[in-house]
Structure 1
Amino acid sequence: MADSSLNPFLRAQQAFKEAVETLGLEPAVYEILKQPLRSFEVAVPFIRDDGTLQVFNGYRVQHNDALGPTKGGLRFHSSVTMDEVKALAMWMSVKCALLGLPYGGGKGGIACDVDQLSESEIERLSREYIRAVSLVIGPDKDIPAPDVSTNPQIMAWMVDEYSRIRGENTFGLITGKPIVIGGSAGRVEATGRGLVFATKQLAKELGIDFAKSRIAIQGFGNVGSVAAEISYDMGASVVAVSDKDGGLYNPAGINIPDLLEYKRINRRLQGYPHAEPISNSELLELPVDILFPAALENQITADNAPNIRARIVGEGANGPTTPEADRILFDKGIMVIPDVLGNSGGVTVSYFEWVQNQTRFYWSEDEVNQRLEEYMSRAMAQMHTMHERFGVTLRKAAYLVAVERIAQAMRYRGWLK
């Protein structure tokens, strides 16, 4: 039998089962949610630059559409499997329901190594994938978006191919597009910004003044650097940051705009003169109010969780905290904002992009950011209320909020008898 601790699909099923049981919902809710409504596996043939034909396996999974069309990213990676895509689609259902978006969860992928493909090959592969799934996706059916190893350019090729098939521009098919063809202002910064908004709301719930907080950030890519800049602008003291090569620490606070300029010129954090070197492992254990693990998975484990001294851990990365560490932090009274909310700013602004595409009316970046804060803050408050009601971790509370909302939609639609 497959090990449920390793198989992502079995882990997702277990989380849904626990949520249904905790809420006291009828078993039929779990019976519907434990499997995707629709799963597609397609052959994606395309011509290589040397004229040879190659065929990759492509996937698209639509987990549940009780709340609306399904929504979720599309990844290009050699390790993509049907079980992985099923699990990711289920987790997208949680994200969308938790945020109050009118979507169910979807996900897709192609099992390929993009590093072995030229740009022209990636374009042909992207177009062929859309042709293969064109009958099962659409602005009111299932809306893809960028994910691992995909980007706005790939989304542009895909929306162009779908528009050719339909014989009309259909920009609402895909989100995460370049702004000039229907993308949304604020989309690039949305994940880091959303993480800060959610954390600010939790700090408020806990009586912590975010503007006076001390913050450490592991990971200084798109999510971590944006979170650092926004936190700094809000008055917080960012005392430590790091990337894969190590980090920087200044207990008096780092001037983030100055550091960003240093990194722009030098293309690295190392050598910045106004902070001391620090390792990634040391950064995680600093005495701070807020810790943002925004780098890789499995960074906070049973080994170092007892040494974590932050009051709030906001997950910007996917899965930075192991289940064992999650329990240790909970027992210590440390609040962990799970990745299912912490990095959901991207899907929230993707929803905004879809709305703008459907209405042909586009918002300013300030409008996007204002709405993002409203959605993230509301979801965080609802999750915290559920945490207090059942005495569970915020991670489990996220599932409770989401499953309750999905079940309500299924009940009204007559799916539950």
Structure 2
Amino acid sequence: MTSVEEVLTSNLYTQQTKKLYKIGEILGLHEDQLAALSTPERVIQVKVQIRGDGGVIKTFTGWRSQHNSALGPYKGGVRYHPNVTQDEVIALSMIMTWKNSLLQLPYGGGKGGIRVDPKALSREELEQLSRNFIDAIYKYIGSNIDIPAPDVNTDSQIMSWFLDEYTKISGKIDPATFTGKPVELGGLAVREYSTGLGVTHTAKLAADKFLGGIEGRRVIIQGFGNLGSYAAKFFVENGAEVIGVSDSKGGVIDPKGLDVKKLEEVKKATGSVINYPEGKKVSNDELLISDCDILVPAALENVIHKYNAPKVKAKLIVEGANGPLTADADSMLKERNIPVVPDILANSGGVVGSYVEWANNRMGEIIGEEEAKKLILNRMEMAFNAVYNKYNSLGDQDLRTAAMVVAVERVVRAMKIRGLI
């Protein structure tokens, strides 16, 4: 294994704990307090079995990590991916704790995952898998306990199966137990694009502070799934120019600008943006170090690390994915004076959208799409301003440190009041 591969496959939980301990030094927290903050309250591992289309029993492993409930019920998505691990799920649940705290949402952090390649399953097998996962964890979730949502390779259809199975097995009609649902089941249309909307709005706020505005800025987006495609659309609406995008098969760059609508059509028709007819074909690695004003890594974790951080040419990085930068990359980019808007702020539009949906379900469906959109943008702006003010008051620190200080401080105060640390 090469040194780069070691970084790319390194333990995300170790990376996140390293970042937390740095914040602990700033806040003057002692070892026992940091242990309380980094250790999940509960991790559930389950065996999920399905009868495959050929009649063969297939067995998968699933997890739900419930990291911290000091501020409220656990909240976070469920991902289906062949490389999911327990440590990854724990790390992502920790990120959700800080994200929910930073946005001043009444939630703690949770995350779930099943180690599976969903593309290798038929629709019937995928439904079985989803229902059986809920069968295994239903005792530990609920609108006042733990609220799952979509994540990597899961969507509103899977949330529908989750909700239906939960209703059958628990006997509770409680749509607020899950967010990211279809509109017909109490979801909000804004939830479909809320993460992309939040990334772009945060990028605009950061560009105003660090680049003199977003108008005319050249943007590269690594990852052209739901988040990346909506972010591209909103960047264009805000006057920026998308010059590069990629997906798992590779990417395309055109300094003259890309047609976002055409990109979506090509992706839908051929399965990859790499088939876009104009521009230069590039790998994901090349894309990350290409010249641009704003870089949005919106794919998987640890894609910017100590081996490629020195080559990054972007003037501003906005984290669309969870944990796309390693701790080493953070330090290097700080030394190079390249601002990084951290994941817990930049991509939190999704969880704010989930919060609005959850609250709407509990209040009796009284919020419309435009009102929901305004709530998301206002909450994102409030969080950005809190982070930027903390960034200025801390002095020689980066935006991630400022965001983490704001988020961890709130959790620490709640835990102290409750006598937990």
- Fold-level similarity (TM above 0.5): yes
Q: What displacement does 1:211 show?
A: 2.4
- Among 246, 254, 261, which residue is 1:249 paired with? 254
Give the Cα–Cα distance (whole angstroms) in 2 for the partners of residues 56 and 282 of structure 1: 35
Q: Which residue of the partner structure matches residue 3 of structure 2?
A: none
Task: Note the alpha carbon deviations across 1:24-60, whole angstroms, 9 max, x for none.
Answer: 2355432321211122223334444455545433322
Q: What displacement does 1:324 show?
A: 3.0
Within-5 A mapping of 1:263-342? 269=273, 276-277=279-280, 279-280=282-283, 281=285, 283-342=287-346
Q: 1:282 to 1:80 in 2, by over 3 A?
A: closer
Q: Which residue of the partner structure matches residue 160 of structure 1?
A: 164
Q: 1:131 to 1:361 in 2, by over 3 A?
A: same
Q: 1:135 to 1:113 in 2, by over 3 A?
A: same
Of residues 100-109 and 381-390 in structure 1, the stretch that sits farther from structure 2 once superposed is 381-390
Q: What displacement does 1:62 show?
A: 0.9
Q: What displacement does 1:83 show?
A: 2.3
Of residues 257-266 and 307-316 in structure 1, the stretch that sits farther from structure 2 once superposed is 257-266
1:393 aligns with 2:401: no
Q: What amino acid maps onto 2:71 in structure 1?
A: L
Q: 1:28 to 1:172 in 2, by over 3 A?
A: same
Of residues 205-214 and 331-340 in structure 1, the stretch that sits farther from structure 2 once superposed is 205-214
Q: What displacement does 1:409 show?
A: 1.2
Please list every run of 5 or more consecutive structure 1 residues that lacks an aligned counterpart in the other structure.
none
Q: Which residue of the partner structure matches residue 417 of structure 2?
A: 412
- Among 73, 84, 89, which residue is 2:88 paired with? 84
Q: What displacement does 1:398 show?
A: 2.4
Provide TM-score, normalisation by structure 1.
0.88
Q: 1:351 to 1:19 in 2, by over 3 A?
A: same
**Number of residues paired by the alignment?**
412
Provide TM-score, normalisation by structure 2.
0.88
Q: What amino acid maps onto 2:60 in structure 1?
A: F
Please list every run of 5 or more consecutive structure 2 residues that lacks an aligned counterpart in the other structure.
1-5
Task: Note the alpha carbon deviations across 1:54-107, whole angstroms, 9 max, x for none.
Answer: 543332221110100001111233433332222221111111112211111111
Give the Cα–Cα distance (whole angstroms) in 1 for the partners of residues 208 and 114 of structure 2: 42
Q: What displacement does 1:298 show?
A: 4.2
Q: 1:334 to 1:237 in 2, by over 3 A?
A: same
Q: Which residue of the partner structure matches residue 355 of structure 1?
A: 359
Q: 1:49 to 1:362 in 2, by over 3 A?
A: farther
Give the Cα–Cα distance (whole angstroms) in 1 for the partners of residues 47 and 268 of structure 2: 42
Q: What amino acid maps onto 2:397 in structure 1?
A: V
1:175 aligns with 2:175: no
Within-5 A mapping of 1:25-36? 25=29, 27-36=31-40
1:369 aligns with 2:373: yes
Q: What amino acid maps onto 1:13 in structure 2?
A: T
Of residues 257-266 and 17-26 in structure 1, the stretch that sits farther from structure 2 once superposed is 257-266
Q: Which residue of the partner structure matches residue 205 of structure 1?
A: 209
Q: 1:184 to 1:265 in 2, by over 3 A?
A: same
Contact 2:251 2:287 survives alignment (8 Å): no
Q: What amino acid maps onto 2:177 in structure 1?
A: L
Q: What amino acid maps onto 2:415 in structure 1?
A: M
1:64 aligns with 2:83: no
Q: 1:44 to 1:294 in 2, by over 3 A?
A: closer
Q: 1:205 to 1:174 in 2, by over 3 A?
A: same
- SS, match of residue 134 in structure 1: helix
Contact 1:270 1:277 survives alignment (8 Å): no
Contact 1:8 1:84 survives alignment (8 Å): yes
Contact 2:266 2:275 survives alignment (8 Å): no
Give the Cα–Cα distance (whole angstroms) in 2 for the partners of residues 415 and 321 of structure 1: 31
Give the Cα–Cα distance (whole angstroms) in 2 for the partners of residues 407 and 383 of structure 1: 17
- SS, match of residue 155 in structure 1: helix
- Among 194, 210, 227, which residue is 1:190 paired with? 194
Give the Cα–Cα distance (whole angstroms) in 1 for the partners of residues 47 and 263 of structure 2: 47
Give the Cα–Cα distance (whole angstroms) in 2 for the partners of residues 397 and 359 of structure 1: 34
Of residues 120-129 and 344-353 in structure 1, the stretch that sits farther from structure 2 once superposed is 120-129
Q: 1:113 to 1:18 in 2, by over 3 A?
A: same
- SS, match of residue 135 in structure 1: helix
Of residues 86-95 and 391-400 in structure 1, the stretch that sits farther from structure 2 once superposed is 391-400
Q: What displacement does 1:247 show?
A: 0.8
**CA-atom RMSD, angstroms?**
2.8
- SS, match of residue 164 in structure 1: helix
- SS, match of residue 215 in structure 2: helix
Q: What displacement does 1:384 show?
A: 2.4
Q: 1:285 to 1:10 in 2, by over 3 A?
A: closer
Q: What amino acid maps onto 1:65 in structure 2?
A: S
Contact 1:241 1:249 survives alignment (8 Å): no
Contact 1:185 1:368 survives alignment (8 Å): no
- Among 240, 248, 268, which residue is 1:236 paired with? 240
Q: What amino acid maps onto 2:238 in structure 1?
A: M
Give the Cα–Cα distance (whole angstroms) in 2 for the partners of residues 55 and 302 of structure 1: 37
Q: 1:102 to 1:129 in 2, by over 3 A?
A: same
Contact 1:99 1:375 survives alignment (8 Å): yes
Q: What displacement does 1:267 show?
A: 6.1
Q: 1:133 to 1:312 in 2, by over 3 A?
A: same
Q: What amino acid maps onto 1:197 in structure 2?
A: H
Q: 1:180 to 1:314 in 2, by over 3 A?
A: same
Q: What displacement does 1:260 show?
A: 4.5
Give the Cα–Cα distance (whole angstroms) in 2 for the partners of residues 376 and 159 of structure 1: 28
1:43 aligns with 2:35: no
